Amino acid sequence: MRMKSRRTYNGKIRLAVFDWAGTTVDFGCQAPVAAFIAGFKAKGLDISPQTARGPMGMEKRDHIKAITAVPEVARAWRKIHGRPVTDSDIDEMYGEFVPHLLATLESNSGLIPGVARAAEALTEKAISIGSTTGYFKEAADIVAASAAKAGFTPMVSVSSSDVTHGRPYPWMIFKVMEACNICPPEAVVNIGDTEVDMMAGRNGGVWTVGVAATGNELGLTQAELEALDHDTRHLKITAVHEKLYAAGAHWVIDTMDELPAVIDEINNHLAEGHKP
């Protein structure tokens, strides 16, 4: 009988893959929400911010399709247009979504507090920095240029335009790993603010960290978050923690300032032979 071998990686984290909107830029993930609402409004449908946020993190055509599958949206579409939504409708809406998003990005691409410090701390630990996004390439380039001015420049940036399928498939993460020449998956941590970010990380077999206070699931601007009383803020952020853990996160942090300490924890787990 052939003896089965078990590969164990006892090294440290070598690559951190960051999401863009809601994780590193655009506190509360505001830009795409406004664009989705405007796009559906042009078709006669009023969708709520919560409905617009539901599939956040997905490739944007897939995101639009997911919104149209929401029962109340599907019913409203049929009532207004007299038929179900078609692929041609989704293609048309995606084409109209692009200029809506581009128009909002410039004013919604500010670097989230703590990101530059966290990236610097990881770089000091000899960890490479990459990024992925559900944005198409033109939008991703705008966001990356804005982040660079504020001091955050990943070595590699991959958009949904660069792969056959976006999240929850892990292909963008793998593309960053390939570009940085880093493996195995155990040496990689994926950081994001949405459920599909967590799913993509788990599907890729990498360590997965959710960010609660600055992202899409909470959906508040920095000013709105700071205006909350302590108890309300705690309850809302705790609910996001639970949601991201349920989606597959290994850790959930409030803000990026906590990330370096989590990386140290992961390294301790790796030294003990643990896997994601």
Which residues are part of the catalytic machinery? 19, 60
Q: Are 15 and 119 in contact (CB under 8 A)?
A: no
Residue among 6, 70, 72, 25 nearest 275 (CA)? 6
Q: In whole angstroms, what is the distance from residue 249 CA to residue 276 CA?
A: 10
Cα separation, 93 vs 225, in Å, equals: 32
Closest CA to 207 of 180, 188, 194, 183: 188
φ, ψ of residue 104 to 5 degrees: the values are -100, -15
Q: Count other Cβ atoms within 10 Å, centred on residue 80.
A: 11
- Containing 36, the helix (H) or strand (E) segment is helix 31-41
Kind plus residue range of the DSSP H or E element containing 131: strand 128-133
- Residues 173 and 201: beta-carbon distance below 8 Å: yes
* 3-state SS class at 133: strand
